[in-house]
Structure 1
Amino acid sequence: MLRLARLLLGVVSLLVISAAQAGQWRVVKDQAGIQVYLQTIPGSSFQAFRGVTRMRVSMPRLLALQDDVSAACAWMHACGEQKLLKHKGNVRWVYSRFQAPWPVKARDSIVQVTTLHAADGRVIRKLHGVADYLPVRPGFVRINRVEGFWQLTPRDGEIEVIYQVHSEPGGSVLAWLANGFVVDAPFNTLQALRQLAEQR
């Protein structure tokens, strides 16, 4: 099990490094200590986002805030509901419902979250959509693809937080509308999480 965890951590770390070195990311917002990058994904009309910031918080507190799945909806952008479906070892299955501007139908998603701890103190949470885990709820469109990660890295008494996701929202969504969302989602999420995490 430990060998498998190390292998998964190595794979995710390579993905993180490759994404950072690919030269395809472009800064679209740099404000309040938060940088938002976008990347065009071949074969997709929807861009990937990458948000980066630092937080003055301990690792245990930051992990606890993320692990409180229902309460986390308060700091996740456009989140209308979130609940833990299953927890087994270092893997969680999380259901999320997202608000959408009219006339777009509300979306929901089911994401498998795998938490990996590195020897250097980093924590990586791999995000993988499992759209068929549960039947689609009436009135919602299931987000049919989610791939991404959270990377939490201790740096000089702070935590560097990277939040990266590419998703396919499913149904009929104008690309320009969705690509506006991918700027707001990482910025607002990281800003709200940092504000909560740094409360004394």
Structure 2
Amino acid sequence: MNKILLSSLFLLVIQLNVFGQSDWKLNTEKEGIKIYTSQVPDSKIKAIKVECEVQATPAQLVAVLMDVNNSTEWVYHTKSCTLIKQVSPSELYYYSEVNLPWPAANRDFVAHLTVSQNPVTKVVEINGPAVPGFVPVKKGVVRIDHSSGKWTIIPCGDHVKVEYALHVEPGGNIPAWMVNMFATDGPMQIFKKLKLELQKPAYKNAVLPSFENYTAGTDRAEIKSSYR
């Protein structure tokens, strides 16, 4: 329990550092997609923030993001992505392995996605921090224990404004050129493919999930037993 509490507090500190940044610097702007970077205290890895507008409803975007088994279709360098546990329509755990070019080893992680909506503004937020220790470590793959990601979906009439902030501590040794590639080319490719993904018939009639209070203390043994 103490380890779970400490991990939760650590992730909260990361999120406050990343999502509270005010010194974002525009790195790339192309095809309506803006990518910013920012220094994170006590980290060698910069945080990234992506902004763009897409022709979709909040429900459609949430449906795509929560359809984790289909993430290999559009998420940059994703080798595999598997739903571990669907806690509720607005909460889940999933496992993903990221394919990295030689000489780096692949990375993997377990993320905890939770969806919430402001009842007044109707802004939707999806938080997806990494959660350590839920599944066995794979030989030859480096586990990412510390990362924070947050999607903010803002309704704007017939479209939505999307903001995505991410900070990852990848662990191990990764060449600088590879870090830069994932910080610039990665987000651009993700959002280009996301726009295409939103056009698929499977998401046309999506509705928002019920926003239940999630249980942060989901049992690890239960998660492990459901993982394949």
Q: TM-score, normalised by structure 2?
A: 0.75
**Contact 2:35/2:184 (8 A) holds in 1:** yes
- Listed as ranges, the matches of 1:1-200 within 5 Å are 18-19=20-21, 22=22, 24-89=23-88, 90-119=90-119, 120-198=121-199
Q: RMSD of the TM alignment (CA)?
A: 2.0
Pairwise CA distance, 1:46: 0.7
Give the aligned residue type for 1:153.
Answer: I
Pairwise CA distance, 1:166: 0.2
Q: Which runs of 5+ in 2 are unaligned?
A: 1-15, 202-228
* Compared CA separation, residues 68 and 17, structure 1 to 2 (3 A): closer
Report the 3-state secondary structure (helix = DSSP H, G, I; strand = E; otherwise coil) of the residue aligned with 1:113.
strand
**Contact 2:85/2:92 (8 A) holds in 1:** yes
Pairwise CA distance, 1:61: 2.0
Pairwise CA distance, 1:180: 2.6
CA distance in 1, matches of 2:17, 2:154: 16
Pairwise CA distance, 1:91: 2.2
Pairwise CA distance, 1:176: 4.2
CA distance in 1, matches of 2:50, 2:97: 21
Report the 3-state secondary structure (helix = DSSP H, G, I; strand = E; otherwise coil) of the residue aligned with 1:178.
helix
Pairwise CA distance, 1:16: 8.3
**Contact 1:55/1:198 (8 A) holds in 2:** no
Pairwise CA distance, 1:15: 7.7
CA distance in 2, matches of 1:136, 1:180: 26
Pairwise CA distance, 1:87: 1.8
CA distance in 2, matches of 1:45, 1:18: 18
Pairwise CA distance, 1:36: 0.2
Give the aligned residue type for 2:183.
Answer: V
Residue-pair matches, total: 185
**Contact 1:46/1:179 (8 A) holds in 2:** no
**Contact 1:47/1:179 (8 A) holds in 2:** no
Q: TM-score, normalised by structure 1?
A: 0.85
Query: Deviating runs (4+, > 6 A) in structure 1?
Result: 14-17
CA distance in 1, matches of 2:17, 2:200: 32
